[in-house]
Amino acid sequence: MSFITVGNALGCTINSHRRGWDGGICKNAETWNCSAKQQFRTDYCQQGDPRCYHIHIFEEGNPYCLIDDLGIGWLLEPYPEALNNQILLFWGKRFQEPRGISDINTRPKDYVFGAYRVRSVSPQKINEFKTLWQIEPYPDGWTRFQQPYILTVYYKSIIGGVYLKEVNRVAVENMFEKAAEQASSPHPNWTSSKDAERFEYFHSHLHEWFEAARENAFKIQQNMVRTYTSRSTSSVLNRGPFVDSLKNLELKKPSHQVATPLKSTPKNGVAIYPLIEKETAKEKIKTIYNKEVLDAVMAVSLTKNILILTGNPGVGKSSLAIDLIDDQERKLIVPVGSTWRGREDLLGYVNPISNEFEPTDFTRFLCKAETAWRKNDKRTFMIIFEEFNLSQPEYWFADILVRSQYSDEQEKLRMIELGGKSIRGITTTGSKVFISPALRFVATINNDHTTLSLSPRVLDRASIIELTLEPRYTLERIKLELDEQQIMSVEELDALLKYKNGMFSLRAAESLKRCLDNLQELDMNSRWDALDIVLLQQVLTKVRLMVGDPANDSLMQGLEDWSENYGKNLRKCASLINNWTEALKDGRDVIQA
């Protein structure tokens, strides 16, 4: 997303500093992997040069964190007060003596080290080209957790910078509750007694601080809306740092701004054949995904006539393509077959008996678009290729790929000779078909072992948009309401399994909704039971684990933690995960189907 959700916490990745972030340089820093680059550790840390951004984060007396402008300037330059009073977590990769973070090519688990209640953020100008942002907490508004760091964090990225993330408020409060339980154990293992006192104070005030953060975010957004209204432009509004508050402000466009439908209007000599024709479709895309996806789709109208939608199964690629144009007469869906090897599979063939060309639905649609063009109907006609890379597109799409690239005026070059004396059922002379300049092609692709990679020849002529849909927004899209604990269970499982293609898809959400609407018929006792069976059948079944894969160690640790948190309510899922653990220990691969 491009926005920070009002009420949630933020987070920043930091290096795993060896000496507890006390302002001292790590001993033997060259051999200690804190996640900083080897060259930096050699040239600075090993030489005693205290340029590390993170050694003062939990320093007694004057704690602060430095973040490079590259990672957070996109937010703080236009909104320097955006982080004020917000809860900011610090996390990094798990480390241990004597080497720090493992060098093995795995995805080490993220562990929370501590948190700030941010008091102020200020730019520190290093030189003409470099700026650092110094984040300082309230004197009583910072804490670091005890060791070992067993508090995992599940976050979502915010488009714009590489450091800042967003963390669900309920997840943060639950994490502090769990940390408080550990702190009350017989051997809490705090770094110092002051750390224990600071944590207790932070934990006891966390709820009221979250409320203060929410109020501060609302004030920022309201000020932004006032600026928007006075300037009569949406450009300021779209760059706002927070989202959700807008829903409560009942913002209305100034009366003189009237939404007008998109038209194929020549601009600077270039004809525009839009992929989106109505404002309602634009708003739907922006709501389901984000403004970046909408901007990308709009740009295709100016740059390419082939749009490729990629993303995990169930993310909504086909739904988005179908929603672009709502006129069924100007839209055709073509399922690509895995056996397609030539243009005959797409266009048709010459009947050797009648010497007529036997057209496919695709060819008939080309003729329909040509007829409209000849009648000066310049509206967009759209063809959707489902599973575009199930077969190599160059085998069957080459003619269309080449001919559609010529300009509107080069009519002869946009003609395809089909063969035969005529096209059966088409009342035109000859057997040629014209590729209308108003034709737009939208293709959906998946990336797995059943598909083929697209060649540079295709990629150079197309625009690619990757779609992602997080579980919370997947549920919102189908208007399915779950309690926060249930949503978190889905979000955390999705975060763990996304690299194994085990995402919570739109199809899984729709299945869950049907189950919840029919609990009595399914003889289920609770909504948790429905969630349990859907996650078991439509998420966990996608996972494959191979014995000897080092990435499985961190994944299974995360799944076991997930089972500990949610296994009481999701018993079937927890049981299957336990079976996976046993199988891997016994040297057996985990393959569901």
Can you count the helices (H) and strands (E) in the chain? 19, 21
Separation CA 68–CA 88 (nearest Å): 16
Q: Provide the pLDDT for residue 331.
A: 95
Nearest to 482 by CA among 520, 516, 533: 516
**Contact between 287 and 281 (Cβ < 8 Å):** no
- Each domain of the chain, given as residue ranges in start order, spans 7-221, 279-466, 471-591
The amino acid at residue 293 is V
Q: Provide the pLDDT for residue 161.
A: 60
Q: Provide the pLDDT for residue 531.
A: 96
**DSSP assignment string, 8-60:** -EEEEE----TTTTSSPPPTTGGG-BSSS-HHHIIIIITTT----TTTTTT-S
Tokens of 418: 């089909």
**Contact between 484 and 170 (Cβ < 8 Å):** yes
Strand partners, 114: 90, 144
Q: Provide the pLDDT for residue 31.
A: 86
Separation CA 137–CA 63 (nearest Å): 7
The predicted model scores a pTM of 0.70
Separation CA 77–CA 133 (nearest Å): 10
Contacts of residue 564, defined as CB under 8 A and 6 or more positions apart, other chains included, come to none
| pLDDT-flagged residues of the chain (< 70) | 1-3, 103-109, 147-153, 159-162, 187-188, 224-240, 243-271, 429, 448-450, 593
Q: Provide the pLDDT for residue 263.
A: 47
Separation CA 269–CA 479 (nearest Å): 44
In the block, tokens 């090897």 appear at 341
Separation CA 332–CA 299 (nearest Å): 22
Separation CA 528–CA 58 (nearest Å): 40
**Contact between 226 and 213 (Cβ < 8 Å):** no
> Around Cβ 422, how many Cβ atoms within 10 Å?
16
Strand order in the sheet with 87-93: 65-68, 131-144, 110-125, 87-93, 9-13, 164-167, 155-157
Q: Provide the pLDDT for residue 286.
A: 83
The CATH class of the 279-466 domain is alpha beta
Q: Which residues of 437-450 are buried (b: 16+ CB within 10 A; e: fewer)?
A: bbbbbbbbbbbeee
Q: Provide the pLDDT for residue 159.
A: 60
